[in-house]
Structure 1
């Protein structure tokens, strides 16, 4: 109940880990699956920081069947001696005290991801149970915690009776290890009082982050064992291992979704800056001190034939998905160098004085991995998604400007050829952007007072309700004639295409725009293409691909989907692209007397055989031969409407993109310019493919 009275006794002072349990979102971002995954990486990153310092080359992560997570390393191990100011062992300090740890400039870590000293203690506070074991000094030490409080459990599960320590804590010695063996094992059960019911560990996210970390720390092996019931097939648990002896150049090649036009360039350098920070003295006082910092910059980048931009940035191997000063410095240096080069080559590139290169033109087709390492970086919040250290921007800009300009000035034949191709691509992107913007502005749906410049072969619909309208892209003029009579012209529009359109996975943007069929599709949809695509400007609520139910029809459908995936992907992501499902067979079942015959349509060979067997079993006969449709043009208007176009009886398959990166790799494999991988795929997969599946 809210009262008007407000005095000092209404104020609350949250002690120790109470603040974490009261406001968990402040420390881990959220209490759903994202926050649960953040806790895992708070523990793993401590082991990774040890590996960065040269201690330990393997980290084991195990997802147990009871929902707990265990992280093991062979690093130096958490200190077990007594910390003098608190009188507690190092283990208890790390797991129970906020803002306590070895990453405040004490010399234990030159550069690390952990900066605030709250990671392990936050995970402990949000865990129903946490067990830690440390191997040091020839012994194995152990301690357990219940929602952040140290004590002892009477059994192995978090539900076991728990007895908290009352007078003093005890770091138990539970075993012996060989001399020189060190390491840490942490196992914890997330507290379901804190996290939402649907919060779960996502193995794919864990594997993606582990792979990323293995790229960033060459030589480090990360092993993930998933022993949860849904992950175990047979008796063996799921196990995945990641280790890469290369660096961020390999990472950039792995991330790149397209065919390269440049090699993967590596730009490295460093710079120094000074900042005033409070330094903890031996007396316990904080004294402002001016210190000199060194920032190391390492960048791998390459351009490809596509227009997608794939960028990853890291600070001390901690991902910064929202960028920060290092990302801003990278883009600033990149813009400066490329603009200068285009200005110097304006005559060869045919760039007019009124044409200006924008950032998106340069970033199109760029895959980059940027890493900076510096002591005690300033992040915005515990989740470390944005770097805030101001001086890093100028250092990164300086390194990128110097190294990239040297690349453009290189007299090596390969460098000259690649930089020339890059400038041509950037200028091409600029011209395509200007052309697409002009095209989009003139191709919006015309009202009654405007003249339409849409293709003559488009049979448009009458409705102005975008959500209700449908565009059928039809294979061939013969099918168009039937479809015109079968459609509902109020809300169904038809656009015929002639044969197989251009394979845009292998073609350039200019080739795509100059192709009549591709240009007509983009023009009719009216929302632009590529980076300038505006989903809100699309003229139709559904785009339905209607091709024959044969191999050629499947190929045409694949080519169309390639066009949509590369240049109008928001339509797919919004669930507005569909494939029509026309029938393969028509079975006529005669009825006695004047009753009309039954017409039954089937959509696969298996469905046909099942139907005929059922008819035979029930004593019914059918007309022979059973009609097999070779194309949409063989149907009359009533049949096409009933089976494929009428909303009441048709079947549509919605095209979805669940994983853009994986889908991009499949399109590049099946439709790209590199023939050898596609040939290997066809040869290796041919025995798993049935001919009937192609015709379905």
Structure 2
């Protein structure tokens, strides 16, 4: 018997309708443990919430019956009961027995919705022993029951009553005068589709209802629980919405540093989307509504809760990313503008510093949100990042600049700066201890001007050309994270030297020792003592030669430094242009052409330039402030990251110009002689 006969068409399986949900429940509800059971509840209550968001419902009542069933009642419009033209089914039977059916696919029923795929309620139906629905609509009471998603009738109460299969929605009576429309759903989930011991988490139900009540302040939520033949009742209604939620989520004992800020607004974004025929269209415009509430307290914990169309996104997503980016950018700018907060050369705070002690709730309403999974744990709609960022930036700028809240804002800004300093001090202590352990017994070269380091990702070693440049660099550097190693003259050309000769070279030996990661095949990037290595040589021919020699050294014996993008070349300026007048200004240029272009632009603007324009002969000619601003300050300097292409070019140049083969060098010199400016030759 061949392998082909063992696998034929009869071995193929086609799962139809809700059968796929029962076969692979985790795919539709996220998991088959207690979280999956709670997800069933969430799917049903979210449908009622959508009615509240649309302004059609004012009350949602959840009843947890003693027999294990869950009932959700709302006073919304009720599921449509008319006959669907295409399927011939009632609206109720269609949405509860067919996957991807519902009123949330771009129709006029809902502006925004927590449901996207038309899977939720039908998945709950498929995984339930019994599923009863009562709809009050158009003056009539409609009723229908299902067993594992199959329509029919039960001859008694509960899931064990005899079931007869039968399709069709039944009218059981008339609505009372003054009675509101709405939908009532009661279901008994089938434990066989879930893991042993899995059950509905009542605390999770309570949290879901409380959160939703915060997000939809116009709707009251009631939880009724059967306890010892009695019904206990809890109500959740928060008219101040997210502001109330922030106060609830704030850790006990955390004194407020600021009041609760509320950023509300809307914006548009574009995305690619399919039309009603499934054909992809580009640049479809969407409008999103944003609401964010946040405050700072004296504590250290952060709490950031994210929601999309009232659905909690446990893992955040693009809306959280937009909020955090805007908060960081706005506060960094405000701190920079406020005199006396940051010391000179002190780094701006990071996101961790901004979020310390913050309690925040982010809620966005999006017409067609995209999530990373059916359980909607993370929002992935890209355009939301900019929309929420704009709203938050606007609110924070107003808060910082408004004279009524300026004092409060300054207290928060000071708290953020203090958090940054504490964080850096703690890292400094840890890294100093780690560095001491790593270097015990190893004497560093006397000429090394080491840093106090605040982390490998931040520390940087400058390989400096000459002692004269070292003097200015020592005064200019930030001693916390910038180390200096001066190099006397040009290092050995490793392109044509043996490994033994290479390691005997004093300058190369110092570089290898200071980096502390070895050489060649034994090089270990994880043990390197600095996050970056920056080659700082003069902007002349000799400086280029030194950079070429150093790049070749790293490429041949410490190649992972280049591969990991941690080798850089500093770009010191060549010229210093200064204007005359009451408000003189200074500009630095890096090439002859840039200098000439800058001079022409200044003259055209009517400004007088101090002439002749000085040209730096080397790094040692710059004072400490000039060297810091142009070459060493991470905020203003220009550096060139050395890539493998640069390394290969350096190796080729050294091999050509300084290698053992004479003929290629002679041919290149003859070929390139035409590029020499004869008048510039000093004879």
TM-score (norm 2): 0.61
Counterpart of 1:124? 125
Task: Give 1:448 deviation, angstroms.
Answer: 14
| Partner secondary structure for residue 312 of structure 1 | strand
Task: Give 1:239 deviation, angstroms.
Answer: 1.4
Bigger Rg, structure 1 or 2 = 2
Q: Distance in 2 between matches of 1:289 and 1:61?
A: 42
Contact 1:279 1:289 in 2 (8 A): no
Is 1:274 the equivalent of 2:266? Answer: no
Q: Distance in 2 between matches of 1:154 and 1:236?
A: 27
Task: Give 1:274 deviation, angstroms.
Answer: 2.9
Q: Distance in 2 between matches of 1:312 and 1:390?
A: 19
Q: Distance in 2 between matches of 1:26 and 1:445?
A: 49
Counterpart of 2:249? 255
Counterpart of 1:157? 158
Q: Alignment RMSD, CA only?
A: 2.4
| Partner secondary structure for residue 326 of structure 1 | helix
| Partner secondary structure for residue 348 of structure 1 | coil
Q: Distance in 2 between matches of 1:332 and 1:6?
A: 54
Residue 333 of structure 1 is aligned with which of 326, 349, 357?
326
Contact 2:137 2:182 in 1 (8 A): yes
| Partner secondary structure for residue 192 of structure 2 | coil
Quick one: structure 1 residues 408 and 97, their matched pair in 2 at CA, closer, same or farther if it must change by over 3 Å? same
Residues 287-686 of structure 1: matches in 2 within 5 Å?
A: 288=281, 291-345=284-338, 348-412=340-404, 415-441=405-431
Residue 232 of structure 2 is aligned with which of 235, 238, 254?
238
Contact 2:93 2:168 in 1 (8 A): no
Quick one: structure 1 residues 419 and 289, their matched pair in 2 at CA, closer, same or farther if it must change by over 3 Å? closer
Q: Distance in 2 between matches of 1:316 and 1:408?
A: 30
Counterpart of 2:544? none
Task: Give 1:34 deviation, angstroms.
Answer: 0.5
Contact 2:306 2:314 in 1 (8 A): yes
Q: Encode CA deviations 1:341-375: one digit per residue, 9 max, x unaligned.
A: 22223x50243425342110110001111111121
| Partner secondary structure for residue 382 of structure 1 | coil
Task: Give 1:443 deviation, angstroms.
Answer: 6.4
Gaps of 5+ in 2: 442-683
Task: Give 1:287 deviation, angstroms.
Answer: 7.4
Q: Distance in 2 between matches of 1:116 and 1:21?
A: 17
Quick one: structure 1 residues 11 and 367, their matched pair in 2 at CA, closer, same or farther if it must change by over 3 Å? same
Quick one: structure 1 residues 352 and 27, their matched pair in 2 at CA, closer, same or farther if it must change by over 3 Å? farther
Q: Encode CA deviations 1:111-160: one digit per residue, 9 max, x unaligned.
A: 11111111100000111111111111222111111111111112212112
Q: Encode CA deviations 1:458-516: one digit per residue, 9 max, x unaligned.
A: xxxxxxxxxxxxxxxxxxxxxxxxxxxxxxxxxxxxxxxxxxxxxxxxxxxxxxxxxxx
Q: Distance in 2 between matches of 1:270 and 1:445?
A: 50
Gaps of 5+ in 1: 452-696
| Partner secondary structure for residue 152 of structure 1 | strand
TM-score (norm 1): 0.60
| Partner secondary structure for residue 81 of structure 1 | coil
| Partner secondary structure for residue 193 of structure 2 | coil
Contact 1:303 1:367 in 2 (8 A): yes
Quick one: structure 1 residues 437 and 287, their matched pair in 2 at CA, closer, same or farther if it must change by over 3 Å? closer
Q: Distance in 2 between matches of 1:59 and 1:395?
A: 31
Q: Distance in 2 between matches of 1:349 and 1:72?
A: 55
Q: Distance in 2 between matches of 1:89 and 1:242?
A: 34
